[in-house]
Structure 1
Amino acid sequence: MRRRPDRSPGRSARPSGPRRTRAPLSPRHRFRIVVPLVLLAFVASVLLVEGYTTRGFAGDQEGRGGPPATGVPRRITGGGPVVDITGDHQRTYRTPDKTVVLTFDDGPDPTWTPRIRAVLDHYRTPGTFFVTGQQTARHPGVLRRVVRSGHEIGVHTFSHPDLATRSASAVDRELALTQLALAGAAGINTSLMRMPYSSVPSALDDSAWSVARRLGEKGYVLAFIDQDTNDWRRPGARAIADAAIPKVPGRGAVVLLHDAGGDRSQTVEALRTLIPRLKAQGYRFTTLADLVGTDSFTSPVDTADRWSGRIFVAAVTVSGAAVSAVSVLLLVVGSLVLARCVLLLVLARHHARRQRRPDSGRHGPVTRPVSVVVPAYNEELCIAKTLRSLAASDHPVEIIVVDDGSRDGTADIAQSLALANVTVIRRPNGGKPSALNTGVLRASHDIVVMLDADTVFAPSTVGRLVQPFADPSVGAVAGNAKVGNRRRLLGRWQHIEYVMGFNLDRRMYDLLRCLPTIPGAAGAFRAEALRDAGMMSADTLAEDTDITMALHRAGWEVRYAPDALAWTEAPSSLRQLWRQRYRWSYGTMQATWKHRHALFERGHGGHFGRLGLPLLAVFQIFTPLLAPLIDILAVYGLVFGNPRTTALAWSGVLAVQAVCAVYAFHLDGERLRPLWALPLQQVVYRQVMYLVLVQACLTAINGYRLPWQRLKRSGDVMLPPQPSTRRT
């Protein structure tokens, strides 16, 4: 992960050479934009397929009941359990005496269907399996083995709805998807069907009869029952076997059992008793096709239908595997989010208490003057406000403005202010790291404060920022950067992110002695420490993270001063936000990779490598990359699952985030009013950060050198009234 050395990272980055006009997106750019969207679309697609093909059903637990039938012919209601109303004729078929047809609904099931099939095969008894398209698509191998054993197959719709309550188009879709699943799983179609929630023909009402006629027009022979074993109630294997025996001795019967929809161990055990018992009484077992006098209701499909079915079944299989993986990842992400929030709250509270403790007395206050370096490139809208805030500092400062080849009036404005102790250095454009190094080399004092040219300091900021340097082991100190342009919604979102995320994180990292980044908006360095770490480097797009990691590896402590407040200009559009976070994400990855050898070092560098780098990878790369799963699966649960449970779970995640946010705002002395935007901020930011991180990962993988992108300035950073701040 290398980059051009003349490109300057961070928010105040500046290009070298003439400005170029915007060019069309290259194929490589399009690739990095399209891939995240394709990944999101893929996840959404598999969830839709999985949701529709696995939507739960209650099974044939109770036959549906409606008003008394007035339009159902008596020959149907008083006829046999097999109804053929195809074509222009209406006829029914009764079960011959001493004949039993064993039928099984709601399968195939990967656990119980094979066991039932094994019992039937053992006694050489045919069975009729009325399968749903959902189960067939999810378990095609189970159905193929049933077909190979010679058993009869019938349709039981795709998702087991009450067809009498569905529209004609919905009924057609149920049938078409089921036949598609049958074609893909076993290469067959069938014209035998049992409507869900149906029982004996005499129970048909007018609405069910209307559906039955439509099914007959489509060529389906309908199967009803003579006897219901109620095995779904699990009354016991003996009770199930007794219920399957014809009530009138010697009469035949179509018997209803189930091979799916729950624990069917009693059904399996009942078959082991029932079949030998009926055979001993002289009964024979047959299929519904035999009752009608046809060889089979099934027929092979042509090549086109077979491949269409295979594609459909493959899509269901892939979606099932993908959803299983997504569910595991969601569990991981949920655990990480919860663990992170708990860790942040506990450590932030401990950090705040430590900050309020009186000084131990080992080191006195830092009162000596410090140098302040302000790198600037085309910052005429911001530079005056920044320099005036520094000049108002209550700590003695030397201010060095390094104009890095600006093509506007930045340097002239800085000089025209005529502020005391301000030096303006003009130099050709060389990038932000080079400009910072120039300022450090010109500094007169051993402590150097660095800030971006769009950042405003409070009068007390410099003094508070340098106090940790009383400890000679401290090489750098991070300030508390806040969003200064928070009047619009995007600004409020970033304000919440800065207070809730960045500063709570810094408190945690500070307590663990592994702070990974000194923000470019507010940071202070010991000049000796900078030299030990090799000065600012242009190796990555995140020079602030790079130098911080280098300081750890050089043996220096890095601290956080939450009361050293700075207000910086945040991106004012989603496009600008995307560019900024893209650089930050990619730069963080570069810096992490560059300093990966800290994992194996000793001393303070090894402590940072084995604690700070994993925390950074887990909480700033891995977790945000997977966080959109929370929202995607929330939508999935609302559509295909239990909406109430899903809403409660999502609200719980949001509540945990809200607790962290409220406590973070409390620690920083911020008003809670902006938190009304937290729910939408959580949803939108997860998606934006996901897309940014995926794009950054793809950039890192293909080794692309990220070009410079400068953010537009508005100069509307506001310094809040000082009484609103809280020292911790």
Structure 2
Amino acid sequence: MFEGNRSKKRQEPSHLTRGGRHKRSRDPRAHWLFLLLVLPAMFGLLIFQGWTDHEVDAAKTRRPCASPVPRALADGGPVVQINGDRVRTVGMPAGTVALTYDGGPDPVQTPRLLDLLRRYDARATFFVSGAKAAQHPELVRRIRAEGHEIGSNTYTGADMGTASPTRSRMELSLTESALAGSVGVQPRLLRLPLTTDVDTLCGDEWQAARRVAAEGYALVAADRSGRKPSQGVVRQFSQTDTAYQETEKLLKDPRARKFTTVTGGLGVPPVDVPVSGLERWEGKALIWVAAIGRGFVSTMVWVLGIAGALGVLRLLMLVLFARAHVRRLTRFRPGAPWLRQVNEPVTVLIPAYNEEAGIEATIRSLLASSHQRLQVVVIDDGSTDRTADIAASVDDPRVLVVRQPNAGKAAALNTGLAQTRHDIVVMVDADTVFEPDAVHQLIQPLAHPAIGAVSG
């Protein structure tokens, strides 16, 4: 950094200890303890939220099927039970429609669907996303309170055929925890994300189906689109306006005699499993952590957005005001004289501590300056190397070397100010090599009467 002024004003050192270069800092152990506690928690929240949003260990798309579905599956119904190598499939009896909804709960569409189903006294199975269930546990409770069935659509809707083993386990276990915390049960029905009818349970999806079946789940696909309600069907919907309209149309279909849940259509009791008190509290903890994570990420987005906007605004203001300042300084005013060129002699102060590697190059670059009227004062601040000897070896009458015990940079500059012979003082670092016109250009703004110092 360069600094120029028109006087030899002394600067008293502040907060310096005798014989040292820096003031003693406070004990940082409490700060480190705080960081060790807070930073891992913040990092964990970001990782978990990134995992939930498929930014970490992503599994958002499925691969094309490399092998067809097993024959027992292709010729069977949409509800699939797998026990080792045995595959059993069943479908809805004639006239029975099992309404199923994937994803959600959605704060807009789920209440609309529930109101519609209540109006027609119909029941349905909601295959919920664990992440959405943790975000809207009150909607999960309403679904169950109104007599509907709850299944799993995994925690984030990841493709289970391409998901890593770790992600697959977490997709199931976190959904179980979210439902345990919201309604006190764990689901035993599951719909694999990105699948529809049984024909889509092929290739990697079939292997994923076998893995989740080993965890105790029954898989629920949908009937093929050509099957009629009078034959008995499992219908699959998302939670959208289109799904609402299609559901309403289906509820008015006279060929369907009964609208019920998957287990209700099969004539078996609900298969979800009540949880223990500990599991319920673990689920509640997941809901709280998920809420904190969403809040933290949202806050960070706002903070970074505002910080970025302020940074851009600051940059624009700097450019604007710098341009205005330059125009004000260079604009010729009628009756005002042109600014003169500054050619007065200059004292250059170089505080140095253990700078033997670069001190000679710094001094010689200054002596080679186009501004020849110089006094170069090197203040050796108690160096333990050859800094002072090297500076003294420069054979030029403009160079003065002053030695002092180590007392810090500010004290060294004050010592140098006491040796100045000229009104203009430039303060530089000992490891800087200067262009020939650097000193001349630096002092030119001092020609303006409003400028008393230059820094840059």
TM range (shorter): 0.7 to 0.9
Please state whether the residue corresponding to 1:101 is helix, strand or coil: strand
Q: Which residue of 2 aligns with 1:667?
A: none
Partner AA of 1:152 in structure 2: E
Contact 1:72–1:209 (Cα < 8 Å) also in 2: no
Contact 1:227–1:256 (Cα < 8 Å) also in 2: no
1:106 CA drift (Å): 2.0
Judging changes above 3 Å, is the alpha-carbon distance between structure 1 residues 290 and 59 closer, same or farther for their aligned structure 2 residues?
farther
Q: Which range is displaced more, 325-334 or 463-472?
A: 325-334
| Structure 2 counterpart of 1:295, from 224, 248, 269 | 269
Partners in 1 of 2:398 and 2:203 — Cα distance?
A: 95
Q: Which residue of 2 aligns with 1:116?
A: 113
Judging changes above 3 Å, is the alpha-carbon distance between structure 1 residues 395 and 107 closer, same or farther for their aligned structure 2 residues?
same
Q: Which runs of 5+ in 2 are unaligned?
A: 1-12
Judging changes above 3 Å, is the alpha-carbon distance between structure 1 residues 84 and 469 closer, same or farther for their aligned structure 2 residues?
closer
Q: Which runs of 5+ in 1 are unaligned?
A: 8-14, 229-242, 480-728
Q: Does 1:443 align with 2:445?
A: no
1:156 CA drift (Å): 2.0
Judging changes above 3 Å, is the alpha-carbon distance between structure 1 residues 389 and 253 closer, same or farther for their aligned structure 2 residues?
closer
Judging changes above 3 Å, is the alpha-carbon distance between structure 1 residues 375 and 216 closer, same or farther for their aligned structure 2 residues?
closer
Contact 2:20–2:407 (Cα < 8 Å) also in 1: no
Q: Does 1:364 align with 2:363?
A: no
Q: Deviations over 1:57-95 (max 9, x none)?
A: 9999x9x977655x433xx54444333445897544442
Judging changes above 3 Å, is the alpha-carbon distance between structure 1 residues 172 and 441 closer, same or farther for their aligned structure 2 residues?
closer
Partner AA of 2:447 in structure 1: A
1:43 CA drift (Å): 5.3
Please state whether the residue corresponding to 1:100 is helix, strand or coil: strand
Partner AA of 1:322 in structure 2: F
1:248 CA drift (Å): 6.1
Q: Which residue of 1 aligns with 2:300?
A: 326
Partner AA of 1:329 in structure 2: V
| Structure 2 counterpart of 1:150, from 116, 135, 147 | 147
Partners in 1 of 2:164 and 2:429 — Cα distance?
A: 64
1:476 CA drift (Å): 0.6
Partner AA of 1:451 in structure 2: V
Q: Which residue of 1 aligns with 2:290?
A: 316
Q: Which residue of 2 aligns with 1:256?
A: 236
Q: Which residue of 2 aligns with 1:603?
A: none
Partners in 2 of 1:372 and 1:27 — Cα distance?
A: 38
Partner AA of 1:119 in structure 2: L
Contact 1:53–1:316 (Cα < 8 Å) also in 2: no
Please state whether the residue corresponding to 1:107 is helix, strand or coil: coil
- Equivalent residue runs for 1:178-257 within 5 Å: 178-201=175-198, 205=202, 211-226=208-223, 228=225, 247=228, 249=230, 251-257=231-237
Partner AA of 2:122 in structure 1: T
Partners in 2 of 1:202 and 1:424 — Cα distance?
A: 89
Partners in 2 of 1:58 and 1:386 — Cα distance?
A: 58
Partners in 1 of 2:420 and 2:120 — Cα distance?
A: 95
Contact 1:372–1:398 (Cα < 8 Å) also in 2: yes
1:30 CA drift (Å): 8.0
Q: Does 1:420 align with 2:397?
A: yes
Partners in 1 of 2:360 and 2:187 — Cα distance?
A: 81
Partner AA of 1:372 in structure 2: V
Judging changes above 3 Å, is the alpha-carbon distance between structure 1 residues 454 and 37 closer, same or farther for their aligned structure 2 residues?
farther
| Structure 2 counterpart of 1:5, from 14, 28, 33 | 14
- Equivalent residue runs for 1:553-702 within 5 Å: none
Partner AA of 2:236 in structure 1: L
1:332 CA drift (Å): 3.5
1:128 CA drift (Å): 0.7
Please state whether the residue corresponding to 2:454 is helix, strand or coil: strand
- Equivalent residue runs for 1:119-130 within 5 Å: 119-130=116-127
Judging changes above 3 Å, is the alpha-carbon distance between structure 1 residues 441 and 207 closer, same or farther for their aligned structure 2 residues?
closer
> Larger Rg: 1 or 2?
2
Judging changes above 3 Å, is the alpha-carbon distance between structure 1 residues 408 and 114 closer, same or farther for their aligned structure 2 residues?
same
Q: Does 1:141 align with 2:118?
A: no
Contact 2:19–2:405 (Cα < 8 Å) also in 1: no
Q: Which residue of 2 aligns with 1:476?
A: 453
Provide the aligned length of Structure 1 versus Structure 2: 437
Q: Which range is displaced more, 157-166 or 338-347?
A: 338-347
Contact 1:200–1:225 (Cα < 8 Å) also in 2: yes
Partners in 2 of 1:213 and 1:431 — Cα distance?
A: 72
State the TM-score, normalizing by the size of structure 1.
0.51
Partner AA of 2:303 in structure 1: L
Partners in 1 of 2:331 and 2:389 — Cα distance?
A: 46
Q: Which has the higher contact order (CA 8 A, sep 6+)?
A: 2
Partners in 1 of 2:217 and 2:130 — Cα distance?
A: 16
Please state whether the residue corresponding to 1:158 is helix, strand or coil: coil
1:189 CA drift (Å): 0.5
Partners in 2 of 1:207 and 1:381 — Cα distance?
A: 65
Q: Deviations over 1:19-41 (max 9, x none)?
A: 99xx9x996158359839964x5
Partners in 2 of 1:128 and 1:248 — Cα distance?
A: 17
Please state whether the residue corresponding to 1:153 is helix, strand or coil: strand
Partners in 2 of 1:401 and 1:169 — Cα distance?
A: 64
Partner AA of 1:452 in structure 2: D
| Structure 1 counterpart of 2:374, from 377, 382, 397 | 397
CA RMSD of aligned residues (A): 4.4
Q: Which residue of 2 aligns with 1:467?
A: 444
Partner AA of 1:247 in structure 2: K
